[in-house]
Chain A
Amino acid sequence: MGDRTRELAEQVQEAARTRTPIAPLGTGSKGFLGNPCRARPLATTGHTGVVDYQPAELVVSVRSGTPLPELVRLLAREGQALPFDPPAFPPGGTVGGAVGAGLAGPGRPWQGAVRDHVLGLTLVDGKGSVLHFGGRVMKNVAGFDVSRLLCGSLGTLGLILEVSLRVTPLPETTCSRVFTLDAEAAQSCLARWLRRPFPVTGAAWEGGRLHLRLAGTEAAVRAAVRRLGGEQEHPAFWTALRDQTLAFFRRRDRRVLWRLSVPPNAPVRGHDLEATLLDWGGAQRWVLAAPDDPGPERLAQTLGGYAVRFRQEPPARPWQVLSGTLLWLNQQVKRSFDPAGIFNPGRLHPGC
């Protein structure tokens, strides 16, 4: 357990003075996200430790360099968990990285995104000042909500030093069911099921099978299984989906792995279903496509959403396209945190 606040802030101040681009990171496990950018790594390694954890409060405050598995184990000992269930890509990952990357597991539509559970944080901004936003309480509308803005900002706004996260009780029981259904049938089943108060915490389709995760009290899960049917499945499926170790992801080869964020009931007809995995009840779609195929991006737009090139090697094309007023506003916000443009310049978009 160590507090490197001073030292990390000084390094940012130094970088600001010399206008040296820096890349805040934990273990670098999510370095593949975003556009490549040339910047000196500034790792939070060693800036670790739980600063405050009172299980009855359902809040944990933790330094950003703390390894994620360590935090997850600590919470589990008290029967609690991080509701956003962040993915673990090798080599590991830290709490700061999980917040900065803003990625959530299969439970996202029901249990919320990373930002839904961030109550406050401490960061070093582009001038090297250490600033505190939000707090450790459930509700807080004092000042703009900077803490949530940092989620998914990929280290472009500042270096996260400490986060306060809302945690939730682990469910009494979890159960995974699988149904043999084509994509359209799966979608129409979900349209009906998800309108009812079943304790669903995962709904994914791939290769002719719909997977459903139910979690909650024994009573609720038992009642739902009785009504929905399906076959029992090992819950390891959900970890493999979250961490992208399923066969689907390993089939990628040299193709680009696209992430599409669309309305859950957007038609599946336009997809190459052999190369598509539907997660989040259809709201997050993983699509494999040839490096020069812009199809997924166009498809996402037609469906009323957007797409990012989640994994591509080499990173030849922009990971996400923004334009017009929205791009301008992103650049404005970036500048307001980091006037000298030292944090991961260009990693999200040109100028941010």
Chain B
Amino acid sequence: MPVREPTPLLARHPDLPRRLAAVAPGAKLLTRPAEWAPYACDGLTARRRRPGMVAVPADAGEVAAILRLCHALEVPVVPRGAGTGLSGGALPREDALVLSLARLDRILEIDPEARTATVEPGVRNLELGEAVAPFGLFYAPDPSSQVACTLGGNVAENAGGVHCLKYGLTVHNLLAVDLVLMNGETVRLGGGGLDGPGLDLLPVVCGSEGLLGVVTRLRVRLLPRPESVRVVLAAFDALRRAGDAVAAVLRAGILPAGLEMMDRLALRAVAAYLGPGYPECEALLLCELDGCAEEAEALAQRVARCFAEGGAVEIQVARTPEACRRLWAGRKAAFPAMGRLAPDYYVMDGTLPRHRLGEVLETIAALAREHGLAVANVFHAGDGNLHPLILYDAGVPQQREAAEALGRRILEACVAAGGTITGEHGVGVEKLDAMCIQFGRGELERFHALRRAFDGKGLLNPGKAIPTLHRCAELGGMHVQRGRLPHPELERF
């Protein structure tokens, strides 16, 4: 083991491990660099740092004790779930303690009559889904990372999934949390029923990226599993047509359980990974419908009609669970499949008004050509939530920079179309500059003030989610006021 400098955290507080052990005797304390590798980054692997040190407490009481101590010592803290976040929200800092919630991993209660579950934050999303399935219930938010990501991380990012169009995001399915504040105090937000007393702080905590408090317990609602499911596949020979078909389904008063799109490049990656399955085309839509048997079938036929009228060149309807699974398999494999096309990819997460999908997809294609990079699209079309995947090779000089520059242009296009820079992956460290496009000084000030209301010293996950006013000023006033970019004629970088 090479001798290393102590991290700034341990250099400043050499006795921190001892004091942590005293207040949280059950916690695992990782103080040796050899133990830190898994904590160096999250799903945004392009950014890595050494943690100051890592603590893995055994229970909520220890979380509170650790935060209280760090508060007193003014030690910054980075909460961490499974580290699958895609925006660097759990990226460590050398002057901060990483607080892993991994060991708070118990399902505390499943109440099938109230249709709720109470869990600790380290429980994995899929694990909860599997635990409630025998009761005929499901937990709706189903991020593609559900095998690995934790429910605490889902709350902190307001995670969504394929079924959010009909069944909502994490915020719509969250009933209560126990939140430990930076000063070590615990508050329960939400209540035993559908709402809680006082201001509704729950939605503020949802998506707060670990800046407001640490979630140590959460209660979620469960839904009855639909009796019957159909999946309609439709192939289109133009992105714009597929985009318009999405709008047509919604306009017809149909709210599908899921409505996803893949473009030609994404389809090619999937075919290389899984073998042929989907028809070759410019854009593919997958639409899931559910309900009682008669209802699911009737809806599937109406959707198929919408797609046919929208110019689909091929339509398939899956009616058995096995056939549905087959149609979904390629979509589910899309992210891992990208490895077949390029060594690295960079996922964007902009959201748009749905009627502008087709147009913005064309803009993205043009921007990609301009930057000399390929972009594949696999995304939640029904929600208007784009996931352009910028393919690049970090081994080639300047490609990572080019990918990031393209990413920024794509987000500008989203904001200019009346959308947002992130639908479900969060701002983290990655989109701090993009936040300056979306918000003006007044809004950013309000965010900082709200943060101080929870954490007066600003010690929880500092440097994430909300850019400083100074940073935005340095970027030079890029705020896109209500869909209009200042100086659209200028080249951006």
Mark A residues whose CB is within 8 Å of B: 54-59, 79-80, 102, 108-109, 112-113, 115-116, 125, 129-133, 135-146, 148-149, 151-153, 156-157, 168-170, 172, 191, 194-199, 216-217, 219-220, 223-224, 260-266, 280, 283-284, 303-306, 308, 320-322, 325-327, 329-330, 332-337, 348-349, 352
Given contacts A141-B157, A144-B208, A329-B201, contact A261 B193 (CB under 8 A): yes
B227 at the interface (CB under 8 A from A): yes
Bound Cα distance from A56 to B253, whole angstroms = 9
A169 touches B255 (CB 8 A): yes
Q: Which residues of B contact A148 (CB under 8 A)?
A: 171, 200, 203-204
Q: Which of B168, B204, B354, B424 contacts A144 (CB 8 A)?
A: B204
Q: Which residues of A contact B104 (CB under 8 A)?
A: none
Q: Which of B123-131, B271-279, B399-407, B438-446 contacts A (4 or more CB under 8 A)?
A: B438-446
Q: Which of B181, B255, B426 contacts A168 (CB 8 A)?
A: B255
B384 touches A138 (CB 8 A): yes
Minimum Cβ distance to chain B for residue A62 (Å)? 16
A196 touches B224 (CB 8 A): yes
15 contacts between A and B (CB under 8 A): A56-B250, A152-B200, A170-B253, A194-B115, A195-B224, A263-B192, A265-B113, A280-B194, A306-B196, A306-B197, A321-B197, A322-B197, A326-B187, A329-B181, A329-B201
Bound Cα distance from A304 to B194, whole angstroms = 11
B251 touches A56 (CB 8 A): yes
B92 at the interface (CB under 8 A from A): no
Q: Which residues of B contact A140 (CB under 8 A)?
A: 351, 420, 422-423
A109 touches B194 (CB 8 A): yes
Q: Which of A137, A216, A280, A306 contacts B295 (CB 8 A)?
A: A216
Q: Which residues of B contact A216 (CB under 8 A)?
A: 291, 295
B431 touches A330 (CB 8 A): no
Q: Which residues of B101-117 have CB atoms within 8 Å of chain A's CB atoms?
A: 111-116
B385 at the interface (CB under 8 A from A): yes
Bound Cα distance from A169 to B186, whole angstroms = 41
Given contacts A137-B353, A196-B136, A332-B454, contact A151 B200 (CB under 8 A): yes
Bitwise, B143-164 to A at CB < 8 A (1) or not (0) is 0000000000000011010001
A330 touches B423 (CB 8 A): no
Given contacts A139-B160, A139-B164, A306-B197, contact A336 B224 (CB under 8 A): no
Q: Which residues of B334-391 have CB atoms within 8 Å of chain A's CB atoms?
A: 351-355, 380, 383-385
Q: Which residues of A contact B427 (CB under 8 A)?
A: 141-143
B450 at the interface (CB under 8 A from A): yes
A145 touches B203 (CB 8 A): yes
Given contacts A197-B226, A216-B295, contact A102 B200 (CB under 8 A): yes
Q: Which of A195, A320, A333 contacts B115 (CB 8 A)?
A: A195
B248 at the interface (CB under 8 A from A): yes
Q: Which residues of B contact A191 (CB under 8 A)?
A: 113
B197 touches A145 (CB 8 A): no
Q: Which of A102, A142, A170, A197 contacts B420 (CB 8 A)?
A: A142
B199 touches A219 (CB 8 A): no
Bound Cα distance from A305 to B175, whole angstroms = 12
Mark B residues whose CB is within 8 Å of A: 111-116, 135-137, 157-158, 160, 164-165, 168-169, 171-172, 181, 185-189, 191-201, 203-204, 206-208, 212, 223-227, 247-248, 250-251, 253-255, 291-292, 294-295, 298-299, 351-355, 380, 383-385, 418-427, 431, 434-435, 438-440, 442-444, 446-447, 449-454, 465-466, 482
A303 touches B160 (CB 8 A): no
Given contacts A169-B254, A197-B227, contact A332 B453 (CB under 8 A): yes
Bound Cα distance from A77 to B183, whole angstroms = 52
Return the chain B residue nearest A306 by Cβ: B197
B443 touches A197 (CB 8 A): no
Q: Which residues of B contact A217 (CB under 8 A)?
A: 291, 295, 298-299
Given contacts A139-B351, A144-B208, contact A325 B193 (CB under 8 A): no
Bound Cα distance from A325 to B12, whole angstroms = 31
B111 touches A265 (CB 8 A): yes
Return the chain B residue nearest A134 by Cβ: B420
B292 touches A303 (CB 8 A): no
B186 touches A325 (CB 8 A): yes
B204 touches A141 (CB 8 A): no
Return the chain B residue nearest A193 by Cβ: B224
Minimum Cβ distance to chain B for residue A282 (Å)? 9
A336 touches B452 (CB 8 A): yes
Q: Which of B194, B250, B440 contacts A284 (CB 8 A)?
A: B194
Minimum Cβ distance to chain A for residue B36 (Å)? 28
Q: Which of B137, B192, B255 contacts A262 (CB 8 A)?
A: B192
A138 touches B291 (CB 8 A): no
Bound Cα distance from A130 to B427, whole angstroms = 24
A137 touches B136 (CB 8 A): no
Q: Which residues of B contact A139 (CB under 8 A)?
A: 160, 164, 169, 351, 380, 383-385, 420, 423-424
14 extra A-B contacts, CB within 8 A, seeds A125-B446, A145-B206, A325-B185: A56-B355, A137-B419, A140-B351, A141-B157, A142-B420, A142-B434, A195-B115, A195-B224, A197-B291, A264-B193, A326-B187, A326-B189, A332-B454, A348-B199
Minimum Cβ distance to chain B for residue A178 (Å)? 22
Minimum Cβ distance to chain A for residue B216 (Å)? 14
Minimum Cβ distance to chain A for residue B295 (Å)? 4
Q: Which residues of B contact A58 (CB under 8 A)?
A: 250
Q: Which residues of A contact B420 (CB under 8 A)?
A: 135, 137, 139-140, 142
A129 touches B421 (CB 8 A): no
Bound Cα distance from A112 to B354, whole angstroms = 22
Q: Which residues of A contact B465 (CB under 8 A)?
A: 143
Minimum Cβ distance to chain A for residue B315 (Å)? 21
Return the chain A residue nearest B197 by Cβ: A306
Q: Which residues of B contact A348 (CB under 8 A)?
A: 198-199
Minimum Cβ distance to chain B for residue A227 (Å)? 9
Bound Cα distance from A135 to B314, whole angstroms = 35
Return the chain B residue nearest A130 by Cβ: B442
Given contacts A56-B354, A129-B442, A325-B187, contact A153 B199 (CB under 8 A): yes
Bound Cα distance from A143 to B422, whole angstroms = 10
> Which of A79, A138, A326, A335 has most B Cβ within 10 Å?
A138
Bound Cα distance from A352 to B136, whole angstroms = 43
Given contacts A135-B418, A352-B199, contact A336 B449 (CB under 8 A): yes
Bound Cα distance from A259 to B168, whole angstroms = 26
Minimum Cβ distance to chain B for residue A260 (Å)? 8
Given contacts A135-B420, A145-B206, A337-B446, contact A220 B291 (CB under 8 A): yes
